Amino acid sequence: MRILITGAAGFLGSHLCDRLLAEGHEVIGMDNFITGSPENIAHLAGNTNFTFFNRDVSNYIFVPGKVDAILHFASPASPNPQSKSGYFNLPIQTMKAGALGTHNCLGIARRENSRFLLASTSEIYGDPEVHPQKETYPGNVDPVGERAVYDEAKRFAESLAMAYHRFHGVNTSIVRIFNTYGPRMDLEDGRALPNLLKQALLGKPLTVYGNGDQTRSFCYVEDLIDGIVRLLYSDEHMPVNIGNQTEMTILQFAEAINRITGNKAGIVFMEGARSARDPQRRQPDITRAQTILGWEPKTDLEEGIRRTIPFFRQRLGLA
């Protein structure tokens, strides 16, 4: 196939480029580098099956030639208020990527009769009152809260994709992505894994907010990409959760990071640092992915962390 990937220079987008090129497809990457990095796709220079366009997907986009599939992954995603590339500091751009960007991509999909896959997020569930989260759960969200620019952009994008499917017959699919980690992720992302792994590799105490009883589920990027590609190849139209169902507290996670890295600096607890509407619990119900796609994660946390460490060490100047 000839496949367009928006957000191609991002963490997940760049891994998708690699996977689909390896399977023999022609890939058209699109990114404006507002959050993505040229380093993530530098290794693809000279690949005759890869073409890149520096474009803002929120503006009118034109892709010459036939497009068989579109994977819309362009969006700021970092919840770190201190990050210049996080959605707290790019609120309008985030909303535009979810609304205008999705609309532009769906327009191409309608014209070209393309398969369209939307990268959505577990954040559409908000701070959930149902656990684990199933695709049928509508969420517990705040449309005007601090995190709403990201959450609501994705919720609107899902609604728009389903409207194009139901009204125009566009072949759409939606992946709801849970916490993912691995090489090429932003060290300043603001999520638990990059924060804690970076501290551990620098020999610092790991910072845990509150008493560390909030939970997360961590999926290694290679597993996530496999689930996304399976969804792309499927006939499924309704949202599908892709993530690791193994839930652990942040304190347990910090202890595992210290053990795996051999960090002896321990853990420090900080009170009152949990941001507004930061979900207390996060765990996917992946029954649909298992049933429809035959997918489930294969990489355990220790193996995934060990495969991620060399990238972090190189970025931190420790290699």
What 140-149 contacts at long range (C-beta under 8 Å, 24+ apart), as own/partner pairs, is: 142/277, 145/276, 145/277, 146/88, 146/275, 146/276, 146/277, 147/79, 147/87, 147/123, 147/275, 147/276, 147/277, 147/278, 149/87, 149/88, 149/91, 149/92, 149/94, 149/95
> Catalytic residue among 87, 125, 150, 164, which?
150
Total Cβ atoms within 10 A of residue 108: 17
Determine whether 209 is an active site residue: no
Which residues carry out catalysis?
Answer: 150
